[in-house]
Amino acid sequence: MRPSRIIAALALLVGLAAPAGAARLISQMSNDTIEITSSFDGERMSFFGAIVPDSGSEDLVVKGPFHVVIVVVGPTADRVARQKTHNFGIWLNTDQVTFRRFPSYFHVLSSGRLRDITDVTTLTTQFILPESHTLKPNEAGWWKTAVFGRELVRLMTEEELFGVNQNAVNFLSENVYSARLTLPSNAPPGSYLALTYVFRNGEIIARKSEGFAVRKIGFERFLALAAVQQPLLYGLICVILALFTGWLGGLIFRR
Amino acid sequence: MQIYLPIAELSVNLFFLVGIGGAVGFLSGLFGVGGGFLLTPLLIFSGVPVPVAVASVTGQVVAASTSGALSHYRRGGIDLHLVMYLILSGILGAFGGVAVFDILRDAGQLDLVISLGFLILLGFVGVVMLIEAGRAILKQRKGVVVRERLPNQHNWMHGLPMRVRFKKSRLYISVLPVLVIGLFIGFVGSLLGIGGGFIMVPALVYLLRVPGNVVIGTSLAQVVAMMAATTILHAVQSQSVDILLAFCLMVGGVAGAQFGAAAGKQLRGEQLRGLLALLVLAVAIRFGLSLVLTPADPFSMAVVSPGSAS
């Protein structure tokens, strides 16, 4: 999945090189790594940017009004949505649809209502709407995919892993914006991509993609790696720790 | 104070974890059971993913049972010969349990089987215990002297082939029922994340007629060994043991167990068993309701295979 990410990033760079309009986006994020420590309880991030004339352009300023949409996509995983139905008096999972390489985190920040910024086709083809990730062809058939996809997006939204905030981007002047995002404590570790789109009259006139990483560091990283890379040793250490704690407890509280 | 659990990948209040560990530890010390059957459901209801809850509680049960097992060992209250047979078949059962655990998790039916398993097992044991304790209390009221030890009569199970002499338990019985009990508890324990002490004790008493002075110690020793093996199996196979989660629970549990054991001395045996039966039934009913009542949300989601490690 890493190579495809790189290809996607390259494609975006190529898109940047081609003159999409006479504008260019300069932007900056507050963090390029978010470190998960033992006290990790979510993290606030800020995005800043300015829309300036493209290099080689004669203009001194680019005329707005602009709209900015920032899409933050987390690492992907195969995720399954399941439905419980009532059978023989009990509720059990009977139906499921698997969504391959579905983002584990997806937040959209925008400077206005998405429907006002551009049309649904652009929103869908650029993967700006959360639902657009569920529209990939799926062996379950399009009807089931649509139904389960909508429910999956709702579940992810309830977990604060998906979200659309339509007034998160504020313009400080006509060309300069800032935006805030709070990553929740359950944000999955991995590589993230922040894709910024600048719209004018419903058209994308500039875009930029920046990556950042959410990763466990120190002891948490060590534990998570040990559990995967040395499972036998990890299990043995768990048991030794448990035996020791039990023995110590008996010793301390010996009546 | 929030603490981030690296395997569960969520942050939980540290005091909440130590607190439920302590509360369950208190009850386990009071009743002389491991407490897994309370802790696993509590963690599940508080949002810890089911596989992580089940696998991590096995680690906590080891700690909770160790101090008890050690003190029984010093008093000579463990039939090591019997424990060896129970462990041998128990580990086989645990292999089966962990394998079934993985299959069910992938098929999306793990929650259902765990709910059903708890409902049937706890419901059955709870009802039997309640009846037994109720009878004992009634007899006590009428002034009938309750026999401390069960009659040493044999039943049909003892007559099966492959008889072995267990010196400490003063038994000369077939090993087949012993192996079956070990196998069953190993399987159920690893599947549901419970030590199985509350099944083991009645099985030893009523089926094998093990004398009272070695029952608890033997059961505890078996739980320690079984759960230690299960923890390792879970760590290797499903990689869902959260050592930090387990450790927080252990610290609370070990401390709580000591106070529970002290409090237990204030209560009579049959009263204790009656209370434990009510507790077991309450958990069973909670699981039963979650199966029968219309769920708040018929849809659920799960990650099948993570896209990337780290």
Contact B70 A246 (CB under 8 A): yes
Q: Is B11 in contact with A79 (Cβ distance < 8 A)?
A: no
Q: Which of B83, B85, B80, B66 is nearest to B25 (CA)?
A: B66
Looking at chain A, the whole-number percentage of residues with pLDDT higher than 70 is 89
Distance from CA of A183 to the nearest CA of B (A): 13
**Which residue of chain B comes nearest to A250, CA vs CA?**
B67
- Domain limits of chain B? 11-292
ipTM value, please give it: 0.80
Tell the burial category of A226 from Cβ atoms under 10 Å away from its Cβ (0-12, 13-18, 19+).
middle
- Looking at the partner chain, which of B3, B7, B228 has a beta carbon nearest the beta carbon of A239? B228
- Delineate the domains of chain A, giving CATH numbers in brackets: 2-216 (2.60.40.1930), 218-255 (no CATH)
Rounded CA gap, B258 and B45, in Å? 26
pTM score, whole prediction: 0.74
- A186 to chain B, any CB pair closer than 8 A? The answer is yes
Counted residue by residue, chain B has a size of 310
Contact present, B158 and B225 (Cβ < 8 Å)? no
Give the Cα-Cα-Cα angle B126, B131, B132 (nearest 5 degrees): 100
Measured between CB atoms, does B231 come within 8 Å of chain A? yes
Would the pLDDT of A19 be above 60?
Answer: no
Question: Quick check: helix, strand or coil at residue A23?
Answer: strand
CB B102 within 8 A of CB B237: yes
Give dist(CA A245, CA A238) in Å, integer: 10
Nearest CA in chain A to B29: A250
Q: Report whether A242 contacts B59 (CB < 8 A).
A: yes
* Residue in B closest to A248 by C-alpha: B67
Angle between helices B14-31 and B50-74 (to 10 degrees): 40
Measured at the alpha carbon of residue B95, what is the angle toward residues A249 and B10, in degrees to the nearest 5?
A: 55
> Å from A237 to nearest chain B CA?
9
**Which residue's entry shows tokens 């504008």?**
A23
What pLDDT digit, counting tens, does each position of B3-52 carry? 888 887 778 888 988 999 888 888 877 776 777 888 888 888 777 888 88
What percent of chain B stands above pLDDT 90?
3
Give the residue-averaged pLDDT of A96-112: 89
Residues B9-23: tens digit of each pLDDT: 778 888 988 999 888
The number of C-alpha atoms within 13 Å of B34 and in the hemisphere containing its C-beta is: 34
Report whether A129 contacts A99 (CB < 8 A).
no
- pLDDT tens digits for A31-46? 888 888 777 778 889 9
CA B23 to chain centre: 16
